[in-house]
């Protein structure tokens, strides 16, 4: 049931503080990281040379954030590829590869196919999935469950944030087993992860403004999403969310790449959503906002709350609570989910069942 919410999507957005907490409690029983048989042993990890991430759609966007977290904690280059591509191109996958597969349903045809192909080549497989007993869960060597509960809305929301939590736990687990991080850092990460449910709640408590924002953008024929580094990964997820339920052409760009061509598309009133959550990139990102404003665009910033001067250069600003850099996507995605929801609603679309889409895509 929708528990009094108008749509499953909204209900699932509002479940996030709760399911993030559940997901954390599953991976950090009594506040200590313990993935038990959901992860590999130190010996197994030592035999792995390459870590690869694969998935489709929203799950891929989570996988890419997971990859960045893994790289940061292990000081090691990792790789990622869209599943429908990886299925047909994997000359680099062998028995020294670990493939991390992310899938809410655990039944996505492309993801399953890429995973089977890699398994055939001897790769180890770790799945991050939400559905117990799904095909992907059954065929993987190790499985981490997201604990999001059933996700009914086609547009994925709580699955994404709990995939992130699962991938962060995995990165900390590997880093700890491989002696890449200190005990203090492990403590610091765990402590910060546990602040996320209330920070998410704080964002959800201020829903009013999204109706107005949706009114401002609903007539646009296209919308840009900009971000640098991990903010770009969050922007990609925001753009997909808007696209699939509002049917407006939403495209994400790495902020710095805009000037190399796509800036030609900027015109009066074109909405540009700018994600600005990273301390070391804030000045550069502010220049990007000015750049798009100078071309008459409407700039909507989603910025970390300490970056007060973002507000001075943007038309509208939504502030998100502060957290560690790698965890920011858990927070920056929320305004983007609500914006997509309200825009879809304002346009009179079927929010939970967007056209041409199915909840689980089992065909390749
Ligand atoms: C977007 C969305 C899709 C799925 C993708 C993968 O909101 O739901 O992009 O994320 O089809 O699905 P799973 O995670 O079930 O493998």
Q: Longest Cα pair distance anywhere in the chain, in angstroms?
A: 58
Question: What pLDDT is recorded for position 358?
Answer: 84
Ligand 1 centroid – CA 87 distance (Å): 17
Nearest to 100 by CA among 134, 154, 62, 157: 62
pLDDT at residue 198 tops 90:
yes
> For the segment 263-308, what is each residue's pLDDT rounded down to a tens digit?
999 999 999 999 999 999 999 999 999 999 999 999 999 999 999 9
- Pick from 7, 13, 56 the residue to mutate for probing ligand 1's pocket: most ligand atoms within 8 Å of its CB: 56
What is the arithmetic mean of pLDDT over 353-361?
87
Question: What pLDDT is recorded for position 359?
Answer: 86
**pLDDT-derived band at 363, boundaries 50, 70, 90:** confident
Ligand 1 centroid – CA 88 distance (Å): 20
> For the segment 78-127, what is each residue's pLDDT rounded down to a tens digit?
999 999 999 999 999 999 999 999 999 999 999 999 999 999 999 999 99
What is the arithmetic mean of pLDDT over 348-353?
94
Ligand 1 centroid – CA 157 distance (Å): 10
The interface predicted TM-score of the complex, written ipTM, equals 0.98
Q: Which atom of ligand 1 is nearest to the CA of 154?
A: 8
- Which sequence positions are flagged as catalytic? 359
Please name every residue paired with 129 in a beta bridge, in sequence order, or none if there are none: 103, 145
- Pick from 7, 54, 57, 244 the residue to mutate for probing ligand 1's pocket: most ligand atoms within 8 Å of its CB: 57
Nearest to 108 by CA among 72, 139, 146: 139
**pLDDT-derived band at 340, boundaries 50, 70, 90:** very high
Helix (H) or strand (E) holding 360: none
Tokens at residue 131, please? 């559905």
Burial 55-85 (b: 16+ CB within 10 A, else e): bbbbbbbbbbbbbbbbbbbbeeebbbbbbbe
> For the segment 218-232, what is each residue's pLDDT rounded down to a tens digit?
999 999 999 999 999
What is the arithmetic mean of pLDDT over 123-137?
98
Name which of 60-64, 161-165, 359-363 the model is least confident about: 359-363
Tokens at residue 352, please? 């939970």
Task: Write out residues with Cβ below 6 Å of ligand 1.
Answer: 56-59, 103-105, 108, 111, 155-156, 240, 244, 360-361
> For the segment 230-258, what is each residue's pLDDT rounded down to a tens digit?
999 999 999 999 999 999 999 999 999 99
Q: Which atom of ligand 1 is nearest to the CA of 105?
A: 15
Q: Which atom of ligand 1 is nearest to the CA of 136?
A: 16
3-state percent helix, strand, coil for the chain, nearest multiple of 5 = 50, 15, 35
Q: Which atom of ligand 1 is nearest to the CA of 58?
A: 10
Question: What pLDDT is recorded for position 287?
Answer: 94
On average, the pLDDT of the chain sits at 96
What is the arithmetic mean of pLDDT over 334-347?
98
Nearest to 161 by CA among 283, 59, 29, 75: 59
Query: Alpha-carbon distance 292 to 205, whole Å?
Result: 30
Ligand 1 centroid – CA 360 distance (Å): 7
Ligand 1 centroid – CA 260 distance (Å): 30
Question: What pLDDT is recorded for position 360?
Answer: 85
pLDDT at residue 361 tops 90:
no
- Pick from 58, 137, 246 the residue to mutate for probing ligand 1's pocket: most ligand atoms within 8 Å of its CB: 58
User: Ligand 1: which residue has its CA nearest to atom 16?
Assistant: 103
Ligand 1 centroid – CA 136 distance (Å): 14
> For the segment 7-66, what is each residue's pLDDT rounded down to a tens digit?
999 999 999 999 999 999 999 999 999 999 999 999 999 999 999 999 999 999 999 999
Question: What pLDDT is recorded for position 110?
Answer: 97
Q: Write the DSSP symbol of residue 99.
A: E
User: Ligand 1: which residue has its CA nearest to atom 3?
Assistant: 57
pLDDT at residue 1 tops 90:
no
Percent of the chain with pLDDT over 90: 95
């Amino acid at each position: 049931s929708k528990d009094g919410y108008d749509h499953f999507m909204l209900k699932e957005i509002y479940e996030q503080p709760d399911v993030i907490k559940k997901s954390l409690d599953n991976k950090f029983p009594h506040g200590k990281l313990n993935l038990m048989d959901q992860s590999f042993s130190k010996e197994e990890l030592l035999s792995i040379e390459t870590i690869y991430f694969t998935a489709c759609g929203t799950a891929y966007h989570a996988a890419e954030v997971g990859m960045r977290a893994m790289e940061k904690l292990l000081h090691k280059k990792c790789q990622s590829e869209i599943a429908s591509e990886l299925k047909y191109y994997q000359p680099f996958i062998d028995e020294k590869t670990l493939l991390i597969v992310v899938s809410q349903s655990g039944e996505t045809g492309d993801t399953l196919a890429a995973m089977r192909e890699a398994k055939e080549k001897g790769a180890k497989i770790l799945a991050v999935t939400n559905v117990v007993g799904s095909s992907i869960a059954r065929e993987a060597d190790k499985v981490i469950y997201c604990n999001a509960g059933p996700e009914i809305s086609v547009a994925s929301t709580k699955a994404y944030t709990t995939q992130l939590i699962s991938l962060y736990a995995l990165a900390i687990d590997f880093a700890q087993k491989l002696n890449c991080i200190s005990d203090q850092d492990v403590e610091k990460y765990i402590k910060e992860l546990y602040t996320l449910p209330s920070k998410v709640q704080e964002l959800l408590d201020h829903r009013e403004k999204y109706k107005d924002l949706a009114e401002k953008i609903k007539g646009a024929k296209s919308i840009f999403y900009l971000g640098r580094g991990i903010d770009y990964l969050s922007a990609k997820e925001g753009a997909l969310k808007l696209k699939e339920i509002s049917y407006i052409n939403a495209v994400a760009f790495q902020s710095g790449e805009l000037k190399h061509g796509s800036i030609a598309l900027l015109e009066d009133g074109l909405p540009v959503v700018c994600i600005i959550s990273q301390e070391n990139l804030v000045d550069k990102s502010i220049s990007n906002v000015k750049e798009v404003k100078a071309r008459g665009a409407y700039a909507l910033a989603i910025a970390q709350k300490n970056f007060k001067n973002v507000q001075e250069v943007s038309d509208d600003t939504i502030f998100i609570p502060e957290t560690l850099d790698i965890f920011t996507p858990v927070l920056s995605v929320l305004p983007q989910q609500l914006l997509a929801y309200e825009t879809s609603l304002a346009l009179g679309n079927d929010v939970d069942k967007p056209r041409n889409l199915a909840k689980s895509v089992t065909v390749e």
